[in-house]
Amino acid sequence: MSEKKKSDLGPRLLTAAVAIPILLYLIFVAPKWAFFALIAWASGTSAWEYVNITLGADKAAARWLTTLLGIGLMSVLYWAPASFLFALSAAVIGLMIYFLFKYESIETATRDIGACVVGLIYGGLLISTMALLNRDAGNAGPFWVFMAMSIVWMSDTGAYFAGRAFGKHKLYPAVSPAKSIEGAIGGFLSAILLAFLWDKGFTAMAGEGLSTTLFGIEALKVDLQWKELGIINILILTIPANILGQVGDLAESLVKRSHGVKDSGTVIRGHGGMLDRIDALIFATPWVYFFYLTFVA
């Protein structure tokens, strides 16, 4: 292991040790509005990072506008979905009006507009389906969120270790030289196995009146409503989620590589930026939400 990697390991582990308990608290214990606030922060930060990568650090007004519009659209989608189309139209018109009067170069105006629109949707809106999943799945919402996050991150972890052990054939060297076909297969199998185990575990817990305490205070009490998915539904859930997650990872690598950027930001110490952490979730979560609405709800 290089000295740089050794020096990065400590901050990465410390960040994970602090962040994971907080994340689990916000998923399983905190009210749903608190989890919405977490996703809104992730959404706004991702939109900010995307515009910062594509347009540069000197475009502060464009970053702020895209970030605030992204959080605003997510809020409308969550709290007042019937008004979302109007809000989306207003956001796009607002961006066009801003650049109509504030563009710095006529040659780059459409590039700047495009970057902000993509940042609004890619960075800002796609991850909002995580909050919608938590809302619409009722008392099983936290478990669906946990399922989505864990299978995507298990895919990433499985791909890393399988790639290190068996990786010989590059997956997409022009965009991400370190990724291998063997690693991708390992990620697939790891995620499918984990989803199967969670399904069995959640099914066993269903209807039992789960209850936990935190510092002597009742933190979670729920009669879990979870119907066993079965292996066919698990495959329908996990295979597209894995494909989309890996495409999301590659898509973010493409954006960074085309602009000569190593990390999307510095918001998560030792882990880079928000996009570096949730790039796979951004693409995979909409499918998990669609799966829930189509096959479960």
Backbone angles phi, psi at 49, to 5 degrees: -65, -40
In angstroms, the CA 13 to CA 19 distance is 10
pLDDT of residue 48: 95
> What is the pLDDT averaged over residues 247-265?
93
Residues 6+ positions from 156 with CB-CB distance below 8 Å? 187, 245, 249, 280
Q: What is the pLDDT of residues 90-101, one digit of tens each?
A: 999 999 999 998
Q: Which two tokens stand for residue 33?
A: 């509005």
Q: What is the pLDDT of residues 216-228, one digit of tens each?
A: 545 555 667 888 9
Q: Which two tokens stand for residue 172?
A: 């997409």
Which 3-state string (H, E, C) describes 203-246?
Answer: HHHCCCCEEEEECCEEEEEECCCCCCCHHHHHHHHHHHHHHHHH
> What is the pLDDT averaged over residues 107-130?
92
Q: Does 4 have pLDDT greater than 50?
A: no
Q: Which two tokens stand for residue 90?
A: 């207003």
pLDDT, mean over the chain: 88
Count CB neighbours of 20 within 10 A: 10
pLDDT of residue 15: 78
> What is the pLDDT averaged over residues 106-120?
90
> What is the pLDDT averaged over residues 116-125?
93
Q: pLDDT confidence of 245, banded at 50, 70, 90?
A: very high
Q: Which of 60, 26, 66 is nearest to 46 (CA)?
A: 66
In angstroms, the CA 256 to CA 116 distance is 16
Q: Give the chain's length.
A: 297
Q: Which range (80-89, 215-224, 252-261) has the least confidence?
A: 215-224
Backbone angles phi, psi at 179, to 5 degrees: -85, 145
Q: Does 292 have pLDDT greater than 90?
A: yes
Domains of the chain: which residue ranges?
31-125, 130-297
Q: What is the pLDDT of residues 168-178, one digit of tens each?
A: 899 988 888 88
Q: Does 108 have pLDDT greater than 60?
A: yes
In angstroms, the CA 208 to CA 216 distance is 21
pLDDT of residue 2: 37
Query: What share of the chain has pLDDT > 90, as a percent?
Result: 66
Backbone angles phi, psi at 194, to 5 degrees: -65, -45
